């Protein structure tokens, strides 16, 4: 009888000991809950602990590729009134963007993405490359912190994604961006397919990887002084074509390693008041 009691006690100890150990891991080492905590003030988290457990159930829905889906986490917190991204008045917002991808491409990518979500005026505070990771930091005056979901949608257009976010304070955030499949979301020029570029205050970017020759024509009313730059797939500058004479037509031979082209004006794009007409083609061999 004593042996039976001892055996049952032994089994109970193992089963419940494992249970308590698992429960301890769930509450103290759960990556999802740790990430949720990091986005909230301590008081907000403690006051809403039970509610948080409910809205993040099942927890497996908040993982992607075995990592916490930080964008989904912040979106859920925001939608349930636990995380406020808007400020009562404009504040100095500090953003730090990190990547393992090409630095030049990254700055172009993030600049375009920020402009598309409404951030036009910002100041670069630092840009550091340690040999593997590049960090671009900027500061701006804003009435709201960046909405990760909106930024994610912009980055997705260029084959990129947000893999991690750190909240240092309400006005300071760190974003880790995956650029493994990055590309510029621009028009691809095809053989004998005419393209018309409308007037713009920004340079025109194009994918020229499928053509060999490009002719560009414009109207008399334009006072275009061509500035044309070629870049490789990592956005390293390959060559620049400049002409300080008013130009109505120019024919260009695309460098072999060129992936992208930027069309602008030496002085200002205000000189280009009419369309630019592009005639791309392949060479006949």
Cα–Cα–Cα angle for 240, 242, 244, rounded to 5 degrees: 165
pLDDT at 174 over 70: yes
In angstroms, how far is the first alpha carbon of the chain from the final one? 95
Rounded CA-CA distance 11/8 in Å is: 5
- Averaged confidence pLDDT in the chain: 90
pLDDT at 257 over 50: yes
Give the pLDDT score at 285: 60
Structure pTM? 0.83
Quickly list H helices, the chain: 2-28, 31-39, 42-47, 49-55, 70-79, 103-116, 148-156
Longest dimension (CA), the chain: 107
Phi, psi of 168 (to 5 degrees): -80, -40
Round the CA-based radius of gyration of the chain to a whole number and report it: 27
Q: How confident is the model at residue 10 (pLDDT cuts 50, 70, 90)?
A: very low
pLDDT at 280 over 60: yes
pLDDT at 15 over 80: no
Q: For residue 64, how many other CB atoms are within 10 A of its CB?
A: 13
pLDDT at 8 over 50: no
Across 21-26, average pLDDT: 38
pLDDT at 60 over 60: yes
pLDDT at 115 over 50: yes
Percentage of residues in the chain having pLDDT higher than 90: 87
pLDDT tens column, 92-108: 999 999 999 999 999 99
Give the pLDDT score at 29: 66
Q: How confident is the model at residue 86 (pLDDT cuts 50, 70, 90)?
A: very high
3-state secondary structure of 284: coil
Q: For residue 261, how many other CB atoms are within 10 A of its CB?
A: 27
More confident residue, 139 or 18: 139
Q: What is the dihedral of CA 186, 187, 191, 197, to 10 degrees?
A: -120
For residues 71 and 165, the answer to whether their CB atoms sit within 8 Å is yes
The residue behind tokens 């970017």 is 205
Give the pLDDT score at 122: 95
Across 166-182, average pLDDT: 97
For residues 166 and 38, the answer to whether their CB atoms sit within 8 Å is yes
Q: Is 137 exposed, middle or buried (0-12, 13-18, 19+ CB in 10 A)?
A: middle
pLDDT at 34 over 90: yes
Give the pLDDT score at 283: 85
pLDDT at 24 over 90: no
Give the pLDDT score at 9: 40
The residues with which 260 forms a beta bridge, in sequence order, are 207, 231
Across 256-272, average pLDDT: 97
- Structural domains of the chain in order of their starting residue, each with its CATH number: 11-79 (no CATH), 86-178 (3.30.70), 187-281 (2.60.120)
């Amino acid at each position: 009888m004593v042996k039976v009691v001892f055996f049952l006690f032994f089994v109970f100890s193992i089963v419940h000991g494992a249970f308590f150990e698992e429960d301890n891991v769930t509450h103290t080492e759960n990556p999802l809950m740790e990430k949720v905590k990091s986005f909230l003030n301590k008081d907000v988290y403690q006051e809403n602990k039970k509610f948080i457990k409910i809205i993040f159930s099942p927890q497996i829905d908040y993982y992607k590729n075995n990592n916490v889906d930080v964008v989904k986490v912040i979106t859920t917190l925001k939608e349930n009134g636990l995380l406020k991204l808007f400020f009562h008045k404009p504040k100095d917002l500090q953003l730090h963007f990190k990547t393992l991808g090409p630095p030049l491409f990254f700055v172009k990518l993030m600049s375009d993405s920020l402009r598309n979500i409404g951030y036009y005026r910002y100041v670069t505070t630092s840009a550091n490359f340690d040999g593997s990771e590049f960090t671009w930091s900027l500061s701006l005056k804003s009435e709201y912190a960046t909405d990760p979901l909106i930024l994610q949608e912009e980055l997705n257009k260029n084959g990129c994604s947000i893999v991690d976010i750190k909240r240092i304070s309400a006005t300071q955030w760190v974003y880790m961006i995956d650029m493994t499949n990055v590309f510029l979301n621009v028009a691809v020029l095809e053989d004998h397919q005419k393209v018309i570029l409308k007037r713009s205050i920004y340079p025109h970017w194009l994918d020229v990887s499928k053509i060999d020759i490009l002719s560009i024509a414009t109207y008399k009313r334009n006072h275009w002084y061509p500035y044309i730059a070629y870049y490789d797939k990592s956005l390293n500058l390959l060559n620049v074509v400049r002409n300080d004479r008013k130009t109505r037509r120019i024919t260009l031979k695309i460098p072999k390693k060129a992936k992208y082209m930027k069309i602008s004006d030496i002085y200002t794009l205000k000189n280009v008041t009419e369309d630019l007409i592009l005639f791309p083609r392949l060479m006949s061999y």
